Structure 1
Amino acid sequence: MLETIVLVAQNNIVVVASDGQQQPRLTALAQTYGLTIVEQTSDDLHLLWLEDKLQLVQQSQPKQAGVLVDFLGAAATYRRKQVSIKNEIIARAVGCKNNERPLVLDATAGLGRDSLVLASVGCAVVMLERNNAVAALLADGLTRLQLASQDAWINNFIGLYHGSLISDCFDWQNTLPQVDVVYLDPMYPHKKKSAAVKKEMKAFQGFVGADEDSDQLLSVAKRVAQQRVVVKRPDYADYLNQQKPDFSLESKKHRFDVYLT
């Protein structure tokens, strides 16, 4: 059963929902993650409850797609069907081999895309997200997944936690289960000349902000992980906290730095 642990939200984020749309699921999300339900807002970036789904929208860009977590959408389904240990560097980075599948803590879960890949190859996955609005998007996506599907792979999602390894308010030692691997993918600035990021993802990155304290994560992650810490970085980025890994695996655009513990 998926376990959810939540801290008191630090930011007051609004969710726009018209009359009649304040379903029990939305009310529960709002109470859990400290969201305020309103009928309208002047905030350009805000959450929107539409067609029983929670999403992040940009009011000044009405034609722009909203950002949501949809593990059963066409893109996610296609992605999941393509995964295998052979063709997924992330799977090899966390230590998948033969019949061995580690228990992974995705400590910078974001929209859960890497967690989806790890769960699809058979890893048990615990997600940790410190932004309360993003944690709410994840919780909504996981709930819709559980309501719509009975596939065995969804049972690989075993926990969603709201907090940060480096927060004084989050007692990870007494809260998190023991994990084999800690996976980190902190938000990193894109190169100005790099390929264009989709507009909706730029909006998401602007909403969440950069992980300015990501260097601090590595030392704590090493204490949490029983076997290894894996850090995903753009191929042009420095090592996290300037610490050279034990080894790295490279894809076309990214590098997975592996620190054995």
Structure 2
Amino acid sequence: MDQLVITQEHTDPTVAAQLAAELGLPLADVIPETCRYTLTLTPDRLELRTLGKGAPGPIYVDFVEGANAHRRKFGGGRGQLLPKAAGLKGDYLPHVVDATAGLGRDAFVLASLGCQVTMIERSPIAFALLRDGLQRAQAATDVTDIAARMMLIRANATEWLGQIAPDQRPDVVVVDPMFPDRGKAALAKKEMQAFQVLIGDDLDAECLLEAALGAARRRVIVKRPRLADIISGAKPSTQIIGQSTRFDVYVRPVTHA
């Protein structure tokens, strides 16, 4: 991936070298002119940066401050669309697998409400950003208990779900596939365009949905833009629709396994 290099600012160069080796990316003291992005270790966090004139701000995972802190304090609790889709009621707190963890935002919402959440991420770049954010959250008093309910695994979710032991099956599987650009109405925020370029599209969404349906005990939730088509295959049992986002809910048959 010659458009991305590892850099570090006032941090232990050994840590940067270890990250570069893990990701198979070059560690650069001087950023090449042709480079479009950097994965930069700062004293505070790991950042994905877009370079060039008019570039947006960095992408990083922060479960302590910013948007996630606002969601935790003022996000509406169980009244949010995702908890409704997951079926949170009374003392029912399902074990959730977020099969496309991304930047961990949906996982954090559910964990902040008391769910145990297993985050699966196959992209090494997204995994590194998530791991960095989760480690910082584990050390922060305000969200230590929430971070303790979040487990991160680097894996291909389709394969991982297909191999899960019967007694380890989650109650709920959340799937939020990244699809190719669908035009201006669906363009991600400018900051997220770098993330989509480097992480890539989930062109195997149908296979992932099938694996999720086979693994979930109670529900599969697919997050989609409000006007987008459903994923080919099984039809959702119901839909929970917001202003810009829709959750397609697939209720699984009750079993005694």
TM-score relative to the length of structure 2: 0.85
Q: Where does the alignment leave 5 or more consecutive residues of structure 2 unmatched?
A: 253-257
Q: Distance in 2 between matches of 1:17 and 1:206?
A: 22
Q: Deviations over 1:201-234 (max 9, x none)?
A: 1121122122111111111111221111110111
2:239 maps to 1:248: yes
SS of residue paired to 1:202 = helix
Q: Where does 1:136-151 land on structure 2 (aligned, <5 Å)?
A: 136-149=128-141, 151=143
Q: Where does 1:9-158 land on structure 2 (aligned, <5 Å)?
A: 14-18=5-9, 21-22=11-12, 26=16, 29-30=19-20, 33-34=23-24, 36-42=26-32, 43-61=35-53, 64-149=56-141, 151=143, 152-157=145-150
Shift of 1:17: 1.6
1:95 and 1:35, CA in 2 relative to 1: closer, same or farther beyond 3 A? farther
Q: How many percent identity over aligned positions?
A: 35
Q: Distance in 2 between matches of 1:66 and 1:59?
A: 10
1:170 and 1:233, CA in 2 relative to 1: closer, same or farther beyond 3 A? closer
SS of residue paired to 1:38 = coil
What's the counterpart of residue 255 of structure 2? none
Q: Where does the alignment leave 5 or more consecutive residues of structure 1 unmatched?
A: 1-9
Q: Number of residue pairs matched?
A: 249
What's the counterpart of residue 180 of structure 1? 171
- Give the one of 228, 236, 239 matched to 1:237: 228
Shift of 1:165: 2.3
Shift of 1:95: 1.5
TM-score relative to the length of structure 1: 0.84
Shift of 1:200: 1.2
1:120 and 1:37, CA in 2 relative to 1: closer, same or farther beyond 3 A? same
Instruction: Give the AA of the match of 2:191.
Output: E
Q: Deviations over 1:24-83 (max 9, x none)?
A: 655555555555533234321231112231111112247521100011122221111123
Instruction: Give the AA of the match of 2:152.
Output: L
Task: Decide whether the 8 Å contact of 2:162 with 2:214 is kept in 1.
Answer: no
More helix by share: 2
Q: Deviations over 1:166-195 (max 9, x none)?
A: 34x997426x94311110000134542427
Q: Distance in 2 between matches of 1:37 and 1:24?
A: 11
Query: In terms of mean alpha carbon deviation, does 145-154 or 20-29 score higher?
Result: 20-29
1:205 and 1:39, CA in 2 relative to 1: closer, same or farther beyond 3 A? same
SS of residue paired to 1:80 = helix
Query: In terms of mean alpha carbon deviation, does 34-43 or 221-230 score higher?
Result: 34-43
Bigger relative contact order, structure 1 or 2 (CA pairs below 8 A, ≥6 apart)? 1
Q: Distance in 2 between matches of 1:28 and 1:128?
A: 22
SS of residue paired to 2:158 = coil
Q: Distance in 2 between matches of 1:55 and 1:191?
A: 27
Q: Distance in 1 between matches of 2:148 and 2:227?
A: 36
For the aligned residue pairs, the C-alpha RMSD in angstroms reads 2.9
2:194 maps to 1:203: yes
2:212 maps to 1:221: yes
Task: Decide whether the 8 Å contact of 2:162 with 2:215 is kept in 1.
Answer: no
